[in-house]
């Protein structure tokens, strides 16, 4: 299993909208991809603007097989739904053994 770990800064006032759009748009799209195992959202207790998206994939190959065109389309829909951009500040992947 591979973990895709993303860190995003989201102002507290925007989090309800951000998390709802993320669940509907991003998680909805990823859930239809082969090898997607699940996703969790972690908000840091000591910095509530720090949102971590923890995405579980069956393998690195499954994760990397998600078409770039799909990712671009989903990101555009996500941005349009929020009317703002929340760039990924950090992306780390972990091998789970």
Q: With a threshold of 0.85, does the pTM exceed it? A: yes
**For residues 14-43, average pLDDT:** 97
SS3 content of the chain, % helix, strand, coil (to 5): 40, 35, 25
Domains of the chain: 2-95 (3.30.70.100)
Element (H, E) at 77: helix 68-82
Here the tokens at position 20 are: 């709802």
Report the pLDDT value the prediction gives residue 44, as an integer from 0 to 100: 96
Report the pLDDT value the prediction gives residue 10, as an integer from 0 to 100: 97
pLDDT in tens, 46-85: 999 999 999 999 999 999 999 999 999 999 999 999 999 9
Rounded percentage of the chain residues whose pLDDT exceeds 70: 100
Here the tokens at position 81 are: 């739904």
Q: What is the DSSP letter of 4?
A: E
């Amino acid at each position: 299993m591979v973990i895709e770990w993303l860190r995003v800064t989201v102002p507290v006032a925007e989090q309800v909208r951000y998390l709802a759009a993320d669940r509907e748009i991003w998680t909805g799209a990823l859930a239809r991809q082969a090898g997607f195992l699940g996703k969790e959202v972690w908000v840091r207790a000591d910095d509530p603007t720090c949102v971590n998206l923890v995405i579980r994939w069956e393998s690195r190959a499954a994760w990397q097989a998600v078409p770039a065109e799909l990712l671009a389309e989903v990101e555009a829909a996500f941005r349009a739904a929020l009317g703002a951009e929340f760039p990924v500040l950090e992306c780390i992947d972990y091998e789970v053994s």
